[in-house]
Every structure is written in C-alpha cells, then in structure tokens.
Structure 1
Amino acid sequence: MSVVLVVNSGSSSFKYQLLDVESERVLASGLVERIGQADGHSTHTVTNPHPEGAASAMLEATYERELPIADHTAGFRVMLDAFAEHGPSLSDNAPVAVGHRVVHGGARFFEPTLITPLVEINIDELSVLAPLHNPANLEGIKAARTAFPDVPHVAVFDTAFHQTLPPAAYTYAIDAKLAAAHRIRRYGFHGTSHKFVSEAAAAFVGRPLADLRQIVFHLGNGASVSAIDGGRSVDTSMGLTPLEGLVMGTRSGDIDPAVLFHLARRAGLSIDDLDDLLNKRSGLLGLAGVSDMRDLESAMREGDAAAALAYDVYVHRLRAYAGAYLAALGGADVISFTAGVGENDPGIRAAALATFGFAGIEIDAARNEERRGGMRVISTDSSRTIVLVVPTDEELEIARQALAVARA
C-alpha cells in the first residue's frame, strides 16, 4: 500500500489530503475550520474515477457540516466521521503514514523526520522562530497522533530543502556571537514546493537534475524565489522568517531595517505594531488596498494609479532577484513559475523576464498566454533558457517524503 494522509495544520483550521502516492491520485481532501468556535465548519471532498469517462476523468462529491469544534482533536474526529460516512473507507485505504507540514525546522531538521516525543519538543522549542506557525503545526501533530496512534507520523519541514545554502548565502552581517546565540540566519521557506518543482522541471525537459541550474519563482499570496544548482538550493529570498524577499499579498518583503527604527521613534509604533504592519498590512495590500493579484490588475484596468504602482513595485522586485540569481548561478538552464500567481498570470511571467533578452531569455507570447493546465514551456524555441509553468503539488511532495521515511 502507498496511501498517505497529509495534514497541514493552522491555529484554527487544518487541511488534509488522502493520497495514493504510487498512482499520484487524491482519494479525498478536506478542510476543518473555525476550530474553537461554535460555528465550526468542515468540507470533505471524495474523488472517484468517472464510471463512463476516460481513465483520467474524475468525479468529485463534496460534503459540508457545521457544528461546534472545540479543538484540533475534535476536528480530527469530524474528519474521521466524514471518511466513515462518505468514504473512502479508511479500512480499505488505510494510510501507511501521516505526513505533516511543519514550517520551521531551524538548522536541526534537514530531511523528513519520524515524529517522536523528542521531535515534538524540538518543534515546540523552534516556535520562537515561527510563533505563528510551529505551535499550530504541533497542535495538528498531537491531534493526528491521537487519531492514528499506530501509524508512523513524519514531519516535512518547509526549511529543510534550503539547508544546503552555503554560509555566504545564509549568514547575516551582524554581530556573529549575537546571531549564533539567537540562531539568526537565513532559513528559507516554501522548500517542499521548490523541491517538487525543480525535480518536475528536470524530468519534463529530460535532463539530469544534477546538470541543471534552475530558478524557481513560487508566486502566491506568499512568494519566494530560489536559485537551485544541481538540485541543491544555493540561495533563496525568504530569510529568518517568511517576511523577507519578494513583495507579497500582505507582507513587505525586503525593507531597510532603519525604517522600523524611524517608525518606532517618529510614529510611536511598538514592536507588535511593526510586526503587524509588515506581515499583515504591507505588500500589495499596503500599497493598493487589495492583496489578491487579480483584484490589483482589475483596479489597474480601471485606471487606479496606486494599483499600477504596486504592480510595478512587485515586478521590480521579481527582476531584481532574477538578475541576482542569474549572476549567482552563472546563468540558468531552466526558470519555472509556480503557485497561484505564477501558474495563472501570464502578464506577471512576461513582465518578470521582459528585460532579460540580453541573457538570451525569450518568452513566447502565444505560449505564455495559453490558458490550460499542466506543465508547459512558455519560452521560444531559440531561448537559451527554457522557461516553464510547473503546477506545484506540495501535498504530493510531503506524501512522497513521508512514505519514504515510513518504508525506511
């Protein structure tokens, strides 16, 4: 059997997928949300082959419930009830492992890790580096281990893929002793996506991963870009936290640290105020009042000057990182775009690489504008760098890694 349950837990919700790793088929997926509230909500979707369609055709049926959900443990009972009532049967499709997304593994975890009580303690201790994420991830782990006590549970860390960064890339130029004492360095995030996409891209172009210099743009509400040399991450835009780097939906990305001192002194903002500003009220939202790229582009078409400026700032940052990583790698064999914006916004893709003709990078306008799913080439046949759209699948990557650990 190769069935794995993947769990991505937040503070008041968790998502799940039941996958058959060998066939790469999603058997069921769901969301349990508003945990801790009287109006809790669950959605459970079952995926079945179409009885009369092509082999690839699928039918989906979605079931919803509203009920109080006291905590994550109660949420897992709701999930188990959904499987029991609507399928697929967990007796016939018993997971051989449960894979958990954990945001921050610090420098301790550089590969998928079998969860033990000691590993839980370490995840909790690393919450100081990810206070919004690790505690919530740990809640999901504890609840899942109660629901599935006889199955191996595996933590897959967002930061793990970037543990190959060289010291020059992960070291901040501050007092070395202070940095070491407080574990201040670049860790990087979205690692499961960058790993999945870089490996999928290598398979698609038919070249060994070890031979390729790649740049991967993961562009969603959260956004990051990585330089990947021979399958190893050698630089990435996010840092100690997911705040650094590209402009995002609500996060500022790169900013002069002195801006914070200035706002503290002149505007009277506290540490918590500044944290809220940069993480929740900046990025596209701070510049234009909307955090979704589709809304931003709609406002641009209506002549909104603030939206146009926000778009230009967003693209400017993409180009800056693309140029930096081309220099770091000595050129790129493949550039891939993934996640919500990267997969679905041809304008952003074209704008991000519009100035790189000098490096032989050419986007084919017709290929780029084509609206269809799946992996595809969007560069010209004469482009020195192959440019791809690669749909990411972080759940499948987590499932693969969890299954490998369970079978080891």
Structure 2
Amino acid sequence: MAELKLRNLQKTYDNGPTVIHGIDLDIRDGEFMVFVGPSGCGKTTTLRMIAGLEDISGGSLSIGQRQVNDVPAAKRGVAMVFQSYALYPHMTVRENMGFGLKLAKKSRAEIDEAVQRAADILQITHLLDRKPKALSGGQRQRVAIGRAIVRKPDVFLFDEPLSNLDASLRVQMRIELAKLHKDLATTMVYVTHDQVEAMTLGDRIAVFNGGRIEQVGTPLELYQHPANQFVAGFLGSPKMNFLPARLAESSAAGSRLTLAGNTGISVPQKCPLALESAITLGLRPEHISWQPQAADNTIPAEVDLVEHLGGEQIVYARAAGIDQQIAFSLPSKDIAPARGERVFLKPEFEACHLFDAAGQTLAGRAVGA
C-alpha cells in the first residue's frame, strides 16, 4: 500500500494547451479516491500521469516515499484497469491473468498461486480455462481486474472500468469493487464521469473541472456542503435547482430574496452581500414539496412533466420569469399534480444554498447537518 502526493501537478502538451493547471492532492494510504467530472475536465489525464503513461510537465508526484516524476511506468508499483478489457483473445483467462508475471520471469508456482488467489477473490475460478470470447462483459472486466491483482501493486488505478457494461451489471460491479477494496485494503484511484459511481464507491471524491480540482471531500460533504455552484450541480440526480434572484434584505435573522418574476421569499441564511446583488438560490429536488393553494414563502409554478420512476416520481414545473424547469421529487405512493396544473412549491429553505455571481457558495447547510 502507499499514499500519493500530487504537488502543483501540471500537464502541457508540446505546442499545445495546458490541460492540468497545478493540482494539489493527498491520497491516503488504503483510500478509495474517485476522480469525477465532465468529459475533458482532466481526470483521466491526471490518472495517466500517476500511471506513468503521460509525462509530467510541472510539479511533483510521489508514491509512498518516492518521487516518481521520471520513474518508468513499470517500476512505479501501480496497476491500471482500462475502460477496454484489453485481453489477449488467443489466451485463456489463466494465461491472461498471469501474463504480466510471466514477463517478469516469475516461477510457474508463483504465477499459479497468484492467479488462483485473484480468481478466488473475484469468484472466477470456474472461468480460468475459458478464452475471452466465451465470457460476458462483466466476466471480462473481472479478468482485467484480476490481471491487476496478481501483480500485488501498491496502487490500483481504474479508468472508467464499468462504462461498457449495462446498467444492472454496473450496479453489481460497483458492489464487487467496493468489496474488493475492503478485502485488499489497497490504495485505489478511480476515474468516472458517473456521479452515482462516485457517490457510492469513494471514501473521498475529487471533483474536476477545466483541469482543476473544484473540491475534495467525502460524498456527503460534497453533497451537503458544496464549495460552489459547479460541485452542487454536478452531484445529485436530478441535479440541484438553481433559481436566479436578487438580495432585497439581509439581517442576522435571515435574508429576503426576490426571484425572477418578482416572487419574494425569505431564507434563514444571512447573506454577506450588498442589497440588490445577484444571487443564485440552490434547492435540491428532495427539499421541495407542493400544495394546491398559495401560502407564505411559496413559489407559484405550472407542471410541465411527471416522470414515474418506480420508487419515486420526479415532477418538473416552470415558474413565471424563470427560464429553467424546477424539479422536485415525490414518493411513488403520493398523488402527483397533473401536467398543466398550477401548483405552489414549498421549499425547505433551511436546506437551501446561496451562490454569488461567480458561483461561489455564500451560505447553506443540509437538513441534519
């Protein structure tokens, strides 16, 4: 096992753009760290620099007590699992898993022992004599993970390993990866664009955007206390609602906001900005309910769409003067408003988030925090 230290890590391509802009990050020994963010944000490039597959343009990278900027990939003590399985089609599962050890000139007994151990962990012992064409997608991914396990690396690196699998198999493999981390107790770094994978797998999550890290924290820390509007909007499904507003009043008792469309609402957070400043009000769908009649601190809206998802319903409504829809969730047992119905939204304002014009968090806390 090993900890990783990234200090002002940078990547600039020859005669090209800088894509990683000075990342500072500590990954603890034995931690499951997830890099998450949209396509092109730099998460995979950072992973490849850790693996030694991309040169480091600036800063330093340490694995354990060694700075490894110029250490070849094969000598860094890392093993990488790619999005594509990259199995040799003419080799059996046993041969695929043991091929790296064979190249390292390990004895046949050592190879057989390591392959058997990995197969037992991944529950693929019965597949060892098959070839890749006789395996399902999930089985092939297990073999690719097993090939990494036999090397007994200090750090496991995963580059979107589940993206080629169907939805139900991704859920199963997430459970198996979490169990694998617990069994091996090895440092793991996992790249994904899927915020559900990030929230369910990571001990901590690093949210990437534009070659920088926006925030690092546990899944609940990021969900309940986002540092900015980008993090707040990226984590959560459906994502957080963002309503444009202006600050009308502010005191120790709270703030009065005017939403687009001239709806006035009161929130319990004090807002440290000048009056009439532009503000964005953030509300998660689970913190909004509805009622058929107007009342204090409600937002009038008209229902556009109701999605029935089995265990819950997602209602999309549109408020006067606000361009984007407002999403809120209901248990499936509740009666949802009909499409076109006029409703009055009742947010839990004690759980709201306020962001300034630059998208930085001003105030906000989650229920129970």
TM, length-normalised to structure 2? 0.27
User: Would you tell me which structure has more helix in proportion to its own residues?
Assistant: 1
User: Would you tell me which structure has more strand in proportion to its own residues?
Assistant: 2
Based on CA coordinates, which of the two structures has the bigger radius of gyration?
A: 2
